[in-house]
Structure 1
Amino acid sequence: MEIIRINERPQQVTPRGVKARAVLDVPYINIMNLTLAPGDEVPSHTTPVDVLFHIIEGEGSVTVGPETAKVSAGEIVVSPAGIPHALAANAGTHFSVLVIKTPNPKNMAKSG
């Protein structure tokens, strides 16, 4: 059995300027834990795979295509492949999100 302790994973700053921890990176799935400080955002961008945003702490908003929703801990937002998406932390709260990509886009680049 493998147990992943997210808080023990090394943290880095992404090219988009938010803190991130690699949780799982295998051929069929990529999971990152993004931590946005109050007011931080991940600008709109697209990915070639489906993405799930599982909110694990705080409150913020998730935009998928033309829709934006306020979200909080315990909620999951689905973003289909090829649709622009963005994240934003509310002012006054840290926003921690598991970003789950399936299949792993890194593997798609290797096979294509």
Structure 2
Amino acid sequence: MKIIDVKNTGELNKIHQVKTGVLYNTEHAMVVHITLQAGEKLKTHITPVDVFFYVLEGMPTIEIGEEKQRVAADHLVESPANIKHCISNETEQVARVLVVKTPRPTTQTKVL
């Protein structure tokens, strides 16, 4: 059995400059843990597969296409493939989000 301590994984993502940790990565799916400190933001990008965001902690702002909303912990947000999206933390508290990509992307994410 493989057990991962989610809060103690991660490193600085070279593209987005925020702490991310790949928790699960198979041909079928990819799960990433993102920690956003106050004021941090992912760059707007397009992922070639369906994605969902599950907010673990805090209240990040999630943008999907032209929609933008603050999302509380224990809520899930769907993001269809090939739609621009972004996550930012406009609060003073840490925000942690679990990102699930299905299936695992075989091509690179496009940063806008």
Same fold (TM over 0.5): yes
Q: Once the 2 structures are TM-superposed, how far is the Cα of residue 63 of structure 1 from its aligned partner?
A: 0.3
Cα distance in 1 for partners of 2:74, 2:20 equals 19
Q: In angstroms, what is the RMSD of aligned CA positions?
A: 1.2
Match of residue 42 from structure 2: 42
One-letter amino acid of the counterpart of residue 58, structure 2: G
Q: 1: CA distance between counterparts of 2:67 and 2:21?
A: 27
Q: Secondary structure at the match of 1:42?
A: coil
Post-superposition CA distance 1:61-110 (Å, at most 9, x none): 100000011101101100000000000112311110001101001xx24x
Q: 5+ residue gaps in structure 1?
A: none
Identity, in percent, stands at 32
Q: Report the number of matched residues.
A: 106
Segments of 4+ moved more than 3 angstroms? none
The one-letter code sitting in structure 1 at the alignment partner of 2:22 is A
Distance 2:60 2:52 in 1: 15
Alignment of 1:13 onto 2:12: yes
Q: Which has the higher helix share?
A: 1
CA distance in 2, matches of 1:17, 1:77: 22
Structure 1: how far apart are the matches of 2:40 and 2:5?
24
**Which structure's residues are more often strand, by fraction?**
1
Q: Which residue of 1 aligns with 2:90?
A: 90
Question: After superposition, where does 1:6-85 map in structure 2 within 5 Å?
Answer: 6-9=6-9, 11-14=10-13, 15-85=15-85
Q: What secondary structure sits across from 1:54 in the alignment?
A: strand
TM-score (norm 1): 0.88
Q: What is the TM-score normalised by the length of structure 2?
A: 0.88
